[in-house]
């Protein structure tokens, strides 16, 4: 398995000690097995930022989800600030209804913008 994608809980309440402890355990195992752990953007931009700040490991990254971005934080650029940590992509389109998951480009997502901001290569942790 090259990557494990984790959906973080909603931003309110923020991640607690138990969630952080479990994440530390998962990341320690991922480093032993050279598996990327990719935290996906959902309705949790604060938690995503907290996880990426807390875990600088090359095995801890970001899964960009285009549909969730469109649904929950369309006014926030999630590709530029987190692009250097991107380890996975979850690309699907959205016609305006919550969580539609359409094939690109059948919805309203600006794919030219997404692709322009996604030009950095995806990071993959390699064995030492």
Is the model's pTM score more than 0.95? no
Q: What is the pLDDT of residues 45-65, one digit of tens each?
A: 888 998 999 999 999 999 999
CA dist., res. 97 & res. 17, Å (int): 34
Which of 108, 67, 65 has the alpha carbon at shortest distance from 90?
65
Residue 107 in tokens: 């919805």
pLDDT in tens, the chain (128 residues): 888 999 988 777 778 899 899 999 999 999 999 899 999 998 878 889 989 999 999 999 999 999 888 888 888 999 888 888 998 888 989 887 776 788 888 889 898 888 888 776 665 555 44
């Amino acid at each position: 398995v090259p990557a494990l994608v984790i959906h973080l809980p909603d931003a309110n309440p923020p991640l607690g000690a138990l969630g952080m402890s479990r994440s530390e355990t998962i990341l320690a195992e991922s480093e032993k097995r050279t598996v990327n752990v990719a935290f996906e953007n959902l309705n949790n931009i604060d938690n995503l930022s907290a996880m990426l700040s807390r875990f600088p490991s090359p095995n801890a990254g970001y899964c960009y989800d285009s549909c969730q971005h469109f649904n929950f934080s369309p006014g926030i650029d999630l590709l530029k600030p987190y692009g250097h940590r991107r380890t996975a992509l979850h690309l699907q389109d959205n016609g305006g209804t919550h969580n539609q998951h359409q094939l690109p480009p059948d919805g309203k997502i600006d794919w030219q913008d997404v692709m322009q901001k996604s030009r950095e290569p995806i990071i993959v942790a390699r064995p030492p």
